[in-house]
Amino acid sequence: MPNADDIRGMFFEECDDLMEALFEGLNLLENDEAEDDTVNAIFRSVHSIKGGAGAFKLDDLVSFAHKFETVLDELRAERINADAPLIAVMFGAADHLAHLIEACRDDGEIDLDRGTALLSDLDGYISADNSPGDDFVFEPMALDFGELEAAPPPDDVVGIQFQPFAKLYQNGHDPLLLIAALKARGTLEVAVDHAALPSLSDYNPDDPKLVFSMTFSAQDAELVVEEVFEFVEGICRLEVTPIISDDPPPPGDFNDFETTIDAPADDHDVPTDLPDFEPEAEQTIAPAPQPDAPPAKPAAEAKSGKSSGKGESTAAQPTLRVELDKVDRLINTVGELIINQAMIAQRIDQLELPGDSDLEADMTDYKMLARDLQEGVMSIRAQPVKTLFQRMARITREAGSATGKSVRMNMIGESTEVDKTVIERLADPLTHMIRNAVDHGLESKEKRIESGKPETGEISLSASHSSGNVKIDVADDGAGLNRERILDIAITKGLIPKDSDLPDAEIDKLLFLQGFSTNDEVSELSGRGVGMDVVKRGVEALGGRISIASTPGKGTKFSIVLPLTLAVMDGIVISVARETMIVPITAVIETLRPEAVDVHHIGKDQKMLMIRGEYVPIVSVRARLGMTDPIQEADEKVLVLVEGSDHKRCALCVDGIQDQRQVVIKAVGGNYGHIPGVSAATIMGNGQIALILDTDHLSTTDDAHLAMPVSPAERGLIAP
Amino acid sequence: MTDETTAPVGGVLECVSFSVNGQTYCLNIMSIREIRRWANVTTLPHADSHVLGVINLRGNVIPVYDLAVHFGLGKTADGQRNVVIIADIEGESIGLLVESVSEILTVARTDVQETPPLGKDGHDSLIEGLITVGDEMVQLIDLRTISMNRESAAA
């Protein structure tokens, strides 16, 4: 049995999916692309969140969701229209719902003020268009069924057929408690039908056979029944039939109902009298039918929606939740398979078989299969950026309301798939960029109107795949960068020399310098002293690059280019002291063979490289890593010019450059700890390990490890 | 993972014994994953002298230590019987180069004698206990002391 925490975790995971569906629906509404079922889908999401939250006694969440749901119900019944203000309120409510879910999950603070304001907004939609109180819930029934409206009975009488399924018991529910709960709310007569019960010898405790027939009378009986049985939806057969006749028939009448497992649920087929319960000949094994909610209520549709999915605008693909760990193990194994395949191929080559050997063809097939397998496995980790984008849309709205600007977000390519970890770690940099775009990028309403732009600013967020990378653009249609001011600020803050004359592109890049913030006033949103440099570092930590393009009066666009996955990296394969190593390509500016005149000596050992009017220190990787090799270094060396994340450049002196290729990043195991100058390792095609160099560390000058002698390098190796 | 957690006190202890530059050591069999032939290592920069480097164990990069250096016995001499013992320590794998593997010992827990204090430079902290097999003394290694990437593992 999963414990309570697991179930709680599952609930919150489900909430993520539900919120995604909710935002998707709201976006459709906003863009006027709503279909018949859109509102229902939104309603279902909120309703499911409410239901789940109720089970965990998350009262704040339940009460807010309930209010939201009520408004959605109004919308669904077409008593109110989804106009722009309502959509804005609903977006606000959805944002708050997301906030509440997060707060509940992390036991965080709940922003009560915002909730209260939203609640009153929502209330506006309920009370303005409706008679208050319980009546409105029944209004749809009145609309559809004139006779009920004509003479509403003081007490509704309903016949209930309740047959718990095995699942109900497995989930820890107790029919007795449900019946007792019902009894507490009205007058109840219960009869149990045990005809289907087998003899004791054939009795299977896991296969419940009991059917309860009840006659229940109370105010709003159907609603009460619905509430009581809310949490056993789908795990029992529940049929609620309004009984118009004043004399409730004896419960015994239901006894005909023996073996019926599944009476087809039809929301609109309203029996006006006692239904004729014919024993169904056929037993359905299909999933539990949804409880027959009161037929005339639109809610019935929503309830059954989740499993039936009828009229869903976008049919959701069935998904499977798998622990990330399992996927990673699979990826590892497949990676090893690829290496193994390469090794076998090498061995076969060495055999020098005749050219027409079948083995060659088979090897090619093997290689193709292995690659397919790897791609397939890698794609498991990939997820659409949709959730991330929706979160950003929320941030855009929040930023818009905080700055008093009218903003809308335009999302392109939300279905682009990116590695899960990349998505998670992109959230912070993107949040920053979006806030910046709204706060600094977009002009105020007045200025926009002045310059002939629409009042509402637009932030567009797009994702696309390009040549093995993922490109994410954040663009605004604001005023563009004010280069004069950027230059001014950079000079005032002493970031660049006074009389600097920089080309536009270089000025734009100043934004990424540490301690740069263009807004004069430090606003609540951005400008906390941390700026684009944090974004840049965040992106670089993911092995990506960021660039900026701006047109005065038209807007600014930031582009992030990221590797598809963190597990793979492009690198330059170099050799140092007979070892193979990798330099991450993101750090490499160029590779070169220096002319003797460009190399200058400082002191005894230090050398500088003169490149394009700049002196760059030459760092010997061999010395830096404390490697000794009997073969003396040749003077004619190959240099790899690298730039660290702090913009410091240095020229790494290596013995040779072999190749440029994608490598799979592996951590050094065994709790070995940090290795200075090395960030990770990878396995080459021949099964040998190559270390991935940490260029940031190599380019820093102070290093305590320089003096350490290393002996094991010359260890005699025994051929395997 | 210590031996106390893998075998009940007073139970039977199964060890794999091996020779390291003439001395006999052993490891709890529960912490040994496999024994491999010696293969090329990739040396690590700035590593302690008892760290030989890293090897590729089916896609995992794991460090390999020279037990002889670890115990201050000089480098393990090259030989055809040299093997790498892959051991599990707190869920992570490490490799240990030894001269040759000898046998599997089954001893009662109670027959493991606590290492007497050996003074300042002694190896008592590296050894969990002593086992007598015939005339020979077998040293039961405390795995946790090996993976520490310390400045000076051996005297």
Note the pLDDT tens digit of each residue in A382-433: 888 888 888 888 888 888 888 888 888 888 888 888 888 888 888 888 888 8
The span from the CA of A158 to the CA of A241, in Å, is 5
Cβ partners under 8 Å of residue A494, min gap 6: none
| B39, B58, B94 ranked by CB distance to A336: nearest | B58
Q: Give the count of beta carbons closer than 10 Å to the beta carbon of residue A299.
A: 22
The span from the CA of B134 to the CA of B124, in Å, is 22
Note the pLDDT tens digit of each residue in A600-634: 888 777 788 888 888 888 888 888 887 766 555 55
CA trace torsion A5, A10, A11, A16 (10° rounding): 130
CB < 8 Å to A681, chain B: 42, 54, 61
What band does A517 get if pLDDT is binned at 50, 70 and 90? Answer: low
Q: Is A338 helix (H, G, I), strand (E, B) or coil?
A: helix
Q: Is B3 helix (H, G, I), strand (E, B) or coil?
A: helix
**Over 80: is that where the pLDDT of A317 sits?**
no
Of A487, A521, A491, A517, nearest in space to A502 by CA: A487
pLDDT at residue A266 in the model: 44
pLDDT at residue A250 in the model: 47
pLDDT at residue B134 in the model: 82
Smallest CA–CA distance from A681 into chain B, residue: B61
| A667, A671, A720 ranked by CB distance to B38: nearest | A720
CB < 8 Å to A336, chain B: 58-59
Most confident of A104-118, A119-133, A298-312, B16-30: B16-30
Burial classification of residue B101, based on how many CB atoms lie within 10 Å of its CB (0-12 exposed, 13-18 middle, 19 or more buried): middle
Q: Please enumerate residues of B whose Cβ is less than 8 A from a Cβ of A.
A: 37-47, 49, 51-56, 58-63, 66, 75, 78-80, 82, 89-90, 92-95, 147, 149
Q: What is the 3-state secondary structure (H, E, C) of A409-477?
A: EEEECCCCEEEHHHHHHHHHHHHHHHHHHHHHHCCCHHHHHHCCCCCCEEEEEEEEEECCEEEEEEEEC
Q: Is B139 helix (H, G, I), strand (E, B) or coil?
A: strand
Are the Cβ atoms of B59 and A336 closer than 8 angstroms? Answer: yes
Are the Cβ atoms of B39 and A720 closer than 8 angstroms? Answer: yes
Cβ partners under 8 Å of residue A424, min gap 6: none
Are the Cβ atoms of B63 and A676 closer than 8 angstroms? Answer: no
What band does B86 get if pLDDT is binned at 50, 70 and 90? Answer: very high
Mean pLDDT of chain A: 73
pLDDT at residue B85 in the model: 92
Are the Cβ atoms of A676 and B62 closer than 8 angstroms? Answer: no
| In the block, residue with structure tokens 């606000």 | A92
Are the Cβ atoms of A712 and B79 closer than 8 angstroms? Answer: no
CB < 8 Å to A581, chain B: none
Q: Are B66 and B97 in contact (CB under 8 A)?
A: yes
**Over 50: is that where the pLDDT of A146 sits?**
no
Are the Cβ atoms of A666 and B47 closer than 8 angstroms? Answer: no
DSSP state of A302: H
Are the Cβ atoms of B54 and A335 closer than 8 angstroms? Answer: no
Percentage of chain B beyond pLDDT 70 is 83
Q: Which helix (H) or strand (E) holds A683?
A: strand A678-683
Note the pLDDT tens digit of each residue in A201-222: 777 777 777 888 888 887 777 7
Smallest CA–CA distance from A621 into chain B, residue: B45
CA distances from A241 to A265, A330, A473, A542 (A): 12, 52, 56, 59
CB < 8 Å to B55, chain A: 689
**Cβ pairs bridging A and B (under 8 Å):** 113
The span from the CA of A255 to the CA of A210, in Å, is 11
Q: Give the count of beta carbons closer than 10 Å to the beta carbon of residue A324.
A: 11
pLDDT at residue A567 in the model: 67
Are the Cβ atoms of B147 and A676 closer than 8 angstroms? Answer: no
CA distances from A703 to A642, A648, A653, A698 (A): 18, 16, 17, 9
**Over 60: is that where the pLDDT of B8 sits?**
no
Q: Are B98 and B76 in contact (CB under 8 A)?
A: yes
CA distances from A381 to A334, B61, B117 (A): 13, 22, 53
Smallest CA–CA distance from B55 into chain A, residue: A689
Report which residue type is found at B50.
Answer: H
Q: Give the count of beta carbons closer than 10 Å to the beta carbon of residue A146.
A: 8
B23-28 and B60-66 strand pairing: unpaired
What ipTM goes with this model?
0.73
Are the Cβ atoms of A689 and B94 closer than 8 angstroms? Answer: no
Are the Cβ atoms of B40 and A688 closer than 8 angstroms? Answer: yes
Note the pLDDT tens digit of each residue in A480-489: 888 888 888 8
pLDDT at residue A37 in the model: 78
B60-66 and B92-98 strand pairing: parallel
| A669, A705, A717 ranked by CB distance to B60: nearest | A669
| A336, A673, A689 ranked by CB distance to B42: nearest | A689
Are the Cβ atoms of A712 and B66 closer than 8 angstroms? Answer: yes
Higher pLDDT, A476 or A286: A476
CB < 8 Å to B66, chain A: 712
Q: Give the count of beta carbons closer than 10 Å to the beta carbon of residue A99.
A: 19
Q: Are A619 and A608 in contact (CB under 8 A)?
A: no
A469-476 and A555-563 strand pairing: antiparallel
Burial classification of residue A365, based on how many CB atoms lie within 10 Å of its CB (0-12 exposed, 13-18 middle, 19 or more buried): exposed
Task: State the helix-helix crossing angle for A84-105 and A386-403, rounded to 10 degrees.
Answer: 110
CB < 8 Å to A333, chain B: 59
Are the Cβ atoms of B38 and A336 closer than 8 angstroms? Answer: no
Smallest CA–CA distance from A330 into chain B, residue: B59
